[in-house]
Structure 1
Amino acid sequence: MPKNVFVLGLDDHNRRILEDMPDAHECVFHGVLTFDEIYGEKISLGDVLGAAQRQLDAFEGSGGSIDAIIGFWDFPVSTLLPLLRKRYGLPTASLEEVVKCEHKYWSRLVQQKVIDEYPPFGLVDPEHDTAPPADLRYPMWVKPVKSFSSVLAFGVNDEEHFQEALGKIRDGMDWISAPFEELLEYVDLPPEIAAVGGRVCLAEEAIVGRQLTVEGYRYQGDVHVYGVVESVRFDNSPSFLRFQYPATLPEYVIERLTDISRRLVEEIGLERMTFNIEYFWDPGTDAITLLEINPRHSQSHAELFEDVDGMANHEAMLRLALDRDPKFPHRKGRYAVAAKWFVRRFSDGVVRRQPTPEEIDAIQHIVPGTSIELAAREGDRLSELQEQDTYSYHLASVYIGAADEAELTAKFDQVVAALPFEIDEVDTVGAAAG
C-alpha cells in the first residue's frame, strides 16, 4: 500500500519537487492547509494547529493511515510538525528541541555550552530600551528573537539607527511575535527563557566574511552533513543575490564547519530531523562564526542539490519522516554547480505587468537548465508583500544549473534581460505614479 504523506503548506512548486523524487512512487502526498492559510495577514498558532488537526482527523476517520507529516517552511510550520507528529504517534524530535533552535536567544545560550564560534550578543527590550547592551560594539544587528527571511532584521551603525530600527520592529513584530508567544506556552521553558518570552530582541555584533549554510540530518544518533551552500549578497547591500552550491571552500574549512555543526546538533537532539546552520567564514582571519541554526532543511536549496547531487534535500526529510536512512548521494547530478538567483528591486512600486506563462516558458527553453518562479504579480504593491527582507523587494527566483560559475552568471544575466516586468514608481504619499 502507498504511504500517505501529509505536507503542511504544500504549494505547486514544492509538489513538483516531491513528485519527482526517487521515493515518490510509493507515496501519496496530501496537502494540509495552503501556504496562504498558514501565513496570512495574521498568524494564529491555535487556529492553524486546530485546522490541521481537523483535516488529519477527518482522513484518519475515513480509515486511512497517516504515515508521515512533513513540512519545509519556517515557523509556524517547523514547530507544528513535532506537535502533530506526537499527536498521531509518529517519530519526531521534541518541540523543546525545535524551539531551542527557533528562539534566537535560547539558541545562543545552548551554543555557549558547546562551541566558541558565535558573536557577542545581548537582549534588547524594544518597548523600553533606547540603546544596546553596553558591552556590544557597533556595527551590529538587531532583530526579534523569532524572525525569518531577514524580516525585521536591521544592521545599525550608531544609536540613531538603533532607535530607528527598534521603532520599525515595534510596528511590525506582532505578526511573528504574537503566535510565537502562543507556541512558548506549549514548552516547559527554563527560567532564563521564561523570563524574556518571545517579544524581545537580540542584538549581535556584526559578522564579516562569506556566508555559508551547512545542511545535514541526524538519524539513529549519527549527524550527517551532506552539503555546504554559499549565500552571495549584492554589492553594497545585505540582500541575497544567489544561493550557490557547492560552496567553493578549502577542505579544512568544510571539516571545521562539519565538526562545529555536529557538536551543536548532538547537544540539542534533533533525531530524525534535517537541519541547516548558517555561518560566516572570514578568509582573512580564518574565523568561523555561527549565525543561526534552523531545525529544517532549506526548501530554497532543493533544486540545487537535485542538480548537483542527483537528489533534492526534500528526499532526506521524507525518508527521515518514514524512519529511513536518507543515504544522501554525492555529485550524481547533471551539473557541476547550481544556484537559486533572486531578481530584486530596491525601491517600492506597483507591478503593472508580470511575465506571462508563455514568456517564462520561452525563456526557460532558450536558456537551458533554468526554472523561473514569480514572487510578485500584476497589481502587487511591493512594500505590502509578506516575507520581504528589510532592504529590497523580491520579484522572482531563478534556479539555474551550469558547468561552472561563469556559465551560471551568464545564464542569469540572459534571463534577467529577457524578463518583462513593468513596475510603476510609487510617490511619497503612496499612490502609483503614472
Structure 2
Amino acid sequence: MAGDRNIFVVGLNDFNRQRLETLRGAEHWRFHGVIDPEAVYDTEVFDIAAMLEEATEQLEAFDGSVDAIVGYMDFPVSTMLPILCERFGTSTTSLSSLLKCEHKYWSRRVQKEVIPDFIPNFTAFDPFDDEALTRIGEAGLYFPFFVKPIKSSGSRLGFRIDTPEDFYHAIEKLREDIGLIADPFNVVLEHAELPPEVAAVDGGFCMAEEIIGGWQCTVEGYVFEGEVVSYGIFDSLRYPQVLSFFHYRYPSGLPEPIQAKMRELTDTVMTHIGYNNAAFNIEYFWDEVQDRIWLLEINTRISQSHCDLFEKVDGISNQQVAIDLGLGQRPDMPHRQGDYAIAAKFFYRVFFVDAVVTRVPSADEVAALEADFPGTMIDIQVVEGQRLSSLPEQDSYSYALALVWMGADSAEQLLEHYDRLSARLPFEFDQVEG
C-alpha cells in the first residue's frame, strides 16, 4: 500500500514480529529483519565487522525506502545502530553519545561531571596486568569492591571481590573470556572519536567500583528532540542472599519522592551526555538505610524484559517507543490502560555449579499452566540433555531455566500466583554439582 513505512529490525524474530504488529500505527508499517536473530541471540561470538557489512548489503539491496533501523537488544545490536543509521540517514543518537553510556569507564567519567554524589568511587584496570590489585588500591578502592569488564553483557563476568583470592579467581575468568566482548567492542570503538584518556582504556580493560546496593530499580525513558522523558520505573528484586535476579516488577513500589529524584538525575545525565532521539534505561539503587541514590549503569535501548509488563499494565509494549523514535516521531505511549494493576517477569532458577537437564516441562504442561493463570507466558530456556554450563548469558551464581511473565491485581497476589505456578514446573537433573 502507498505510504507504508519500511522499518528494519536488527535480529527480528517471530515472537517480536507478532508483538510489533500490535503497536499503534503498525497498519502503516512493514517490518523487515536485518541479520538473523541467531547471530545476535544464541551466541557469544560476535563478528561486528561482518555483521555491519551484511546489514549494509541487505539495506542497500532493498527496493524501497529505508525509513527506520531499530533494535531492542544490548550488545552487539545497540552499538551497531548508530553506525547503520548514519549510513542510511535514519533517526537515532550519535555513536559518541551512545558510547558515553556503554563504555563503562567513559560513562562514569561523564556522570562524575554532573552527578558526582550519586556514583561510586571507580577506576579502570588491565586484567592482564599482574600489578592490577596494587593499582586498584592506589586509586583508593579497598575490599570489598566489584569488578566487571568495560563493556559487559548481562551480568556475565561481574564479581564481588572480598579478598585477594576472590580477585585472582575473577582475573583468571576475565583473562579467559573477556575477549568474547572486548574484541567486537573494540571494532565499534574504531568508528568513534574518543578522548585520549578514554581511548587508552579499550574493551580489554575492566572496572573496579565501590560496592553499592539497596533497592534496585530501572528507569525506562527516551530523548526526543532534546527532551528527556522517563515513562516507567521498574523494581529489580533479587533472590535472598545472592546477586541473581528473582523478578522485575512494574510499576515500582519505591516512595514517590525517590522516583522523582531518579527522574531528575536521569534528565541531568542524559542531557549532559547529549543523547538524543533514542530510547534508554538507567539502573539505580536506593540505599534506604543511608537514604542515598546510586546510578548503577545506563543501557542504550528499551528493555526487552519490560515489553510484556508495559503491555499488561499500560496497554502496549515499550517497543512502541523504539519504533516511533526510529521513524523520527514523538513516542505514542499510553499509561495505565492495560488489563493488570501490576506485572512481573520472574526468573525460575537453580543454584547449581553445573548439572545435566534430564526433564523439562512439555508443551502441554506449559500450555496447561498458562491456561490456569490467565495472561501468563512461560518461556523454557533449556532442553533435555543440555549441560547447564552451556547456557549463554548467565550470571556467575545460578542458571535461569524458565522465564515467567505474569499480571495481577496486587504485589501479594502476584507472588502467590508465581509460588503456585513454579511449584508445578517439572524439571529434573543428573550429574548435579552443588
- Which TM-score band applies after superposition, normalised by the shorter structure? over 0.9
Q: Does 1:266 align with 2:271?
A: yes
Distance in 2 (CA, whole Å) between partners of 1:125 and 1:172 is 14
Q: What do residues 186-218 of structure 1 show as CA deviations (whole Å, max 9, x unaligned)?
A: 111100011121111000011121001011111
1:256 Cα offset (Å): 0.5
Alignment of 1:213-228 (within 5 A): 213-228=218-233
Distance in 1 (CA, whole Å) between partners of 2:272 and 2:158 is 27
Q: Does 1:7 align with 2:9?
A: yes
Alignment of 1:27-46 (within 5 A): 27-39=29-41, 40-46=43-49
1:353 Cα offset (Å): 2.4
Counterpart secondary structure, 2:111: helix
1:37 Cα offset (Å): 1.5
Distance in 2 (CA, whole Å) between partners of 1:35 and 1:379 is 24
Q: Does 1:322 align with 2:327?
A: yes
Distance in 2 (CA, whole Å) between partners of 1:45 and 1:392 is 29
Tell me which residue corresponds to 2:56: 53
Tell me which residue corresponds to 2:91: 91
Whether contact under 8 Å (2:286, 2:292) holds in the other structure is: yes
Code of the residue aligned with 1:8 in structure 2: it is V
1:57 Cα offset (Å): 1.9
Distance in 2 (CA, whole Å) between partners of 1:378 and 1:250 is 44
Whether contact under 8 Å (1:181, 1:198) holds in the other structure is: yes
Distance in 2 (CA, whole Å) between partners of 1:23 and 1:305 is 17
Distance in 2 (CA, whole Å) between partners of 1:366 and 1:305 is 22
2:177 to 169, 172, 175: 172
1:176 Cα offset (Å): 0.5
Code of the residue aligned with 2:372 in structure 1: it is I
Distance in 1 (CA, whole Å) between partners of 2:390 and 2:78 is 24
Counterpart secondary structure, 1:418: coil
1:249 to 249, 254, 257: 254
1:427 Cα offset (Å): 5.9
Tell me which residue corresponds to 1:78: 78
Code of the residue aligned with 1:75 in structure 2: it is F
Whether contact under 8 Å (1:123, 1:133) holds in the other structure is: no
2:21 to 19, 22, 25: 19
1:244 Cα offset (Å): 0.4
Question: Which runs of no fewer than 5 residues in structure 2 stay unpaired?
Answer: none
Alignment of 1:129-278 (within 5 A): 129-131=131-133, 132-134=136-138, 135-278=140-283
Tell me which residue corresponds to 1:380: 386
More deviation in 414-423 or 117-126?
Answer: 414-423
Code of the residue aligned with 2:233 in structure 1: it is V
Whether contact under 8 Å (2:315, 2:336) holds in the other structure is: yes
Q: What do residues 381-422 of structure 1 show as CA deviations (whole Å, max 9, x unaligned)?
A: 111111111111111110000000111111111221222222
Alignment of 1:98-117 (within 5 A): 98-116=98-116, 117=118
Distance in 2 (CA, whole Å) between partners of 1:303 and 1:130 is 43
Distance in 1 (CA, whole Å) between partners of 2:295 and 2:363 is 40
Code of the residue aligned with 2:4 in structure 1: it is P
More deviation in 123-132 or 153-162?
Answer: 123-132
Code of the residue aligned with 2:231 in structure 1: it is Y
TM-score by length of 2: 0.95
Whether contact under 8 Å (2:92, 2:325) holds in the other structure is: no
1:391 to 374, 392, 397: 397
Distance in 2 (CA, whole Å) between partners of 1:169 and 1:307 is 39
1:24 Cα offset (Å): 1.9
1:29 Cα offset (Å): 1.3
2:339 to 329, 334, 345: 334
CA 1:425 to 1:21, structure 2 compared with 1: closer, same or farther past 3 Å?
farther
Tell me which residue corresponds to 2:309: 304
More deviation in 272-281 or 14-23?
Answer: 14-23
1:52 Cα offset (Å): 1.3
Tell me which residue corresponds to 1:68: 68
1:282 Cα offset (Å): 1.0
Counterpart secondary structure, 2:192: coil
Counterpart secondary structure, 1:84: helix
Tell me which residue corresponds to 1:370: 376
Whether contact under 8 Å (1:69, 1:321) holds in the other structure is: yes
1:349 to 355, 367, 373: 355
Runs of 4+ in structure 1 off by over 4 angstroms are none
